[in-house]
């Protein structure tokens, strides 16, 4: 047995001289430590060793096993070090005297504006909530009064998942859950990422952000809606902004409006930002449709409310003078950093 152990040790030391890479190392490991390896094989001899020698032989087998395991670990480390060194040798030389970009970033302009809007609404007593990015068809459409065959579905070309769920096309998808959680007397703001299968252009992305708000109580009026929207705009633009409502259409509000803000840059006189109209189309909104309240378990005879769905990217573009929405998702750090000073 002793000779057999010595013979395996010698053989291992010999074999290990031929290791060139990780795969030959693995072959060596299997040949000695694997299920059918030489160490397992030794155990067959061990069974016939006389009892008085078993302790000594056992120790020798263990020592050999440790020796092999340690050597293999050492080889592995050496091969890894060699690979790193080769990588370093391959790398192009670089000039260590070049000035360093410290890499200090800034918040994304959308994050900055979202925080401003959230702060303004929080200060007016709104609860800030979150929505899912993957939603059920029920929440995204049916619960906001858009049943399966409703033509309004065509307005939002949707990414469907194999299981019948959707990537949320609008923050309104959270309305039902929020009304069930907080209604029938609530003021809730819920920002979120939305997705639509859009033909992308300077003002349309397939991934964009909205901030939605709902207020439900007894005797809520359009005047309340205008009050809150004005408060928000005055806070964001840090000046007095006028608003006007034009008729709009959404299946989940009745009446529905498009809310325009007086141009914060020319004060309504007309400039390139507002296309010389003095007004900027900003925020679809309206009084929550009784069906939406009913579906969410709120009695529309007793309670009513308003909802709005502000396009965050649009607000960022207006505030920063950005002419193309695609910049916001481009991850171009040099461009994004400029907004640190422009937006704040």
Site residues (CB under 6 A) for ligand FA5? 170, 172, 196, 198, 204-205, 208, 210, 212, 250, 253, 284-286, 307-309, 311, 313-314, 325
- Which one, 201 or 332, has the nearer CB to ligand FA5? 201
Q: How far is the CB of 123 from ligand FA5 (least distance, A)?
A: 22
- Which one, 71 or 171, has the nearer CB to ligand FA5? 171
Q: Cβ contacts of residue 173 below 8 Å, gap of 6+?
A: 131, 132, 135, 139, 140, 144
Q: How far is the CB of 226 from ligand FA5 (least distance, A)?
A: 14
- Which one, 248 or 267, has the nearer CB to ligand FA5? 248
- Which one, 58 or 321, has the nearer CB to ligand FA5? 321
Q: How far is the CB of 293 from ligand FA5 (least distance, A)?
A: 13
Q: How far is the CB of 122 from ligand FA5 (least distance, A)?
A: 19
Buried b (16+ CB within 10 A) or exposed e, 153-166: beebebeeeeeebb
Q: How far is the CB of 194 from ligand FA5 (least distance, A)?
A: 7
- Which one, 28 or 322, has the nearer CB to ligand FA5? 322
Q: How far apart are CA 285 and CA 306, in angstroms?
A: 7
- Which one, 7 or 130, has the nearer CB to ligand FA5? 130
Structure tokens at 295: 């579906």
**Which DSSP state fits 96?**
T
Q: How far apart are CA 116 and CA 307, in angstroms?
A: 19
Structure tokens at 101: 């970009």
Task: Tell which residue, 224, 185, 187, has the closest CA to residue 302.
Answer: 185
Q: How far apart are CA 256 and CA 285, in angstroms?
A: 6
Q: How far is the CB of 141 from ligand FA5 (least distance, A)?
A: 11
In angstroms and rounded to an integer, the radius of gyration of the C-alpha atoms of the chain is 34
Q: Which residue is nearest to ligand FA5 (CB)?
A: 311
């Amino acid at each position: 047995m002793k000779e057999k152990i010595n013979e395996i040790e010698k053989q291992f030391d010999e074999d290990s001289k031929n290791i060139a890479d990780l795969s030959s190392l693995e072959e060596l490991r299997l040949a000695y430590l694997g299920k059918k390896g030489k160490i397992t094989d030794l155990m067959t001899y061990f069974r016939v060793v006389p009892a008085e020698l078993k302790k000594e032989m056992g120790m020798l087998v263990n020592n050999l096993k440790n020796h092999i395991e340690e050597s293999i670990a050492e080889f592995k480390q050496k091969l890894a070090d060699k690979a790193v060194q080769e990588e370093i040798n391959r790398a192009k030389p670089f000039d260590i005297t070049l000035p360093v970009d410290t890499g200090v970033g800034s918040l994304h302009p959308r994050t900055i504006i979202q925080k401003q809007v959230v702060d303004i609404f929080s200060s007016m007593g709104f609860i800030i909530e979150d929505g899912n990015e993957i939603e059920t068809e029920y929440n995204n459409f049916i619960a906001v009064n858009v049943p399966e065959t409703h033509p309004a579905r065509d307005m939002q070309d949707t990414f469907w998942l194999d299981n019948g769920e959707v990537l949320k096309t609008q923050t309104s998808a959270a309305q039902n859950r929020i009304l069930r959680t907080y209604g029938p007397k609530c003021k809730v703001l819920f920002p979120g990422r939305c997705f639509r299968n859009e033909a992308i252009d300077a003002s349309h992305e397939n991934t964009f952000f909205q901030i939605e708000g709902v207020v439900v109580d007894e005797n809520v009026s359009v005047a309340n809606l205008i009050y809150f929207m004005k408060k928000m705009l005055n806070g964001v633009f840090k000046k007095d902004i006028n608003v006007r409502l034009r008729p709009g259409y959404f299946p989940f509000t009745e009446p529905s409006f498009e809310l325009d803000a007086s141009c914060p840059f020319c004060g309504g006189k007309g400039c390139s930002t507002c296309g010389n109209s003095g007004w900027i189309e900003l925020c679809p909104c309206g009084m929550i449709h009784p069906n939406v309240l009913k579906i969410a378990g709120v009695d529309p005879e007793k309670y009513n409310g308003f909802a709005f769905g502000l396009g965050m990217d649009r607000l960022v573009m207006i505030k920063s003078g950005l002419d193309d929405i695609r910049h916001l998702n481009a991850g171009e750090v040099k461009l994004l950093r400029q907004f640190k000073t422009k937006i704040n």
